[in-house]
């Protein structure tokens, strides 16, 4: 049975009908690929989000952050309430108006990259971005290093492709990637892997080295990474074995 129609659009929808409407929307062929797109993105960004969880435990910084947290001297950023930072480097601007065809976005100072198109935008200003049903604007700060995994169907699913380190050029940057075994409580005893990534934009060099985690037991498993410069998409594949490694482009 499908949802009943209501002639009075201002009348409250009975609870039973809300459930029917939800069921019909969940099976909407226009929505299913959108849900899959963002489910895939969640798994791709798992290394980034997992590192944020470690950072939250170590420093108390939340995963979801108001713009003013990293831009305290930006008067405009202190007034923005409908955007947020996911960690230090990703700016999220949810679309919350039904049928919206555009979204007004404020980008703090610096250069930013559109996650979906790769277009570079100068910050310190507001802009209007076209949106559609499947578009949630995401921007990446220039100088950011974002680890991106292959798509998985579940968190522990083995994959053959390496993690890609996306380097968004245009500014110097630094990032520490954290990993552990993902299942045990050994992280409570300081067992994990910390990889410090430092990007020098002028020299076009990325340094990978063990992170300086005091009192931690760094457990390094040699592995491959793909380093990708954006917006050019130039790539190099390398093997990291726990020692300082210099990658030059």
Segment 182-223, tens digit of pLDDT: 889 988 888 899 999 999 999 999 999 998 776 667 777 789
| Residue numbers of the domain that contains 226 | 145-248
Phi–psi pair at 77, nearest 5 degrees: -60, -30
- 141, 166, 190 - which closes a domain: 141
CB–CB of 107/123 below 8 Å? Answer: yes
Asked if residue 227 and residue 133 are part of one domain, the reply reads: no
Asked if residue 154 and residue 136 are part of one domain, the reply reads: no
Asked if residue 159 and residue 135 are part of one domain, the reply reads: no
Could you report the per-residue pLDDT of 124-181, keeping only the tens digit for each? Answer: 999 999 999 899 999 999 999 999 999 999 988 989 899 999 999 999 999 999 999 8
- 117, 141, 165 - which closes a domain: 141
Domains in the chain, number = 2
Q: What is the pTM of this model?
A: 0.87
DSSP count for the chain of H helices, then E strands: 4, 17
CB–CB of 120/112 below 8 Å? Answer: yes
CB–CB of 76/104 below 8 Å? Answer: no
Domain assignment present for residue 125? The answer is yes
Alpha-carbon distance of 94 to 146, in angstroms, equals 20
Domain assignment present for residue 33? The answer is no
- If phi over 0 gives left and psi between -120 and 50 gives alpha, with beta otherwise, what is residue 60? left
């Amino acid at each position: 049975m499908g949802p009943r129609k209501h002639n009075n659009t201002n009348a409250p929808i009975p609870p039973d009908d809300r459930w029917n409407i939800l069921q019909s929307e969940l099976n909407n062929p226009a929505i299913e690929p959108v849900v899959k797109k963002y489910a895939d993105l969640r798994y791709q960004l798992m290394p980034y989000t997992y590192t944020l969880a470690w950072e939250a435990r170590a420093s108390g910084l939340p995963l979801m952050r108001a713009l003013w947290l990293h831009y305290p001297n930006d008067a405009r950023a202190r007034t923005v309430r409908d955007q947020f930072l996911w960690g230090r480097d990703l700016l999220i601007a949810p679309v919350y108006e039904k049928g919206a065809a555009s979204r007004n976005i404020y980008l703090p100072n610096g250069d930013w990259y559109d996650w979906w198109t790769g277009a570079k935008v100068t910050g310190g200003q507001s802009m209007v971005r076209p949106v559609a049903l499947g578009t949630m604007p995401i921007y990446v700060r220039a100088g950011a290093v974002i680890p991106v995994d292959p798509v998985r169907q579940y968190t522990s699913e083995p994959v053959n492709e390496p993690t890609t380190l996306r380097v968004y050029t245009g500014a110097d940057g630094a990032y520490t990637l954290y990993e552990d075994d993902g299942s045990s409580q050994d992280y409570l005893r300081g067992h994990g892997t910390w990889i410090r990534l430092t990007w020098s934009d002028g020299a076009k060099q990325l340094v990978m080295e063990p992170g300086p985690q005091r009192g931690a037991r760094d457990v390094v498993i040699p592995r491959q990474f793909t380093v990708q410069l954006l917006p050019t998409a130039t790539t190099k594949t390398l093997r990291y074995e726990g020692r300082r490694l210099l990658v030059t482009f």
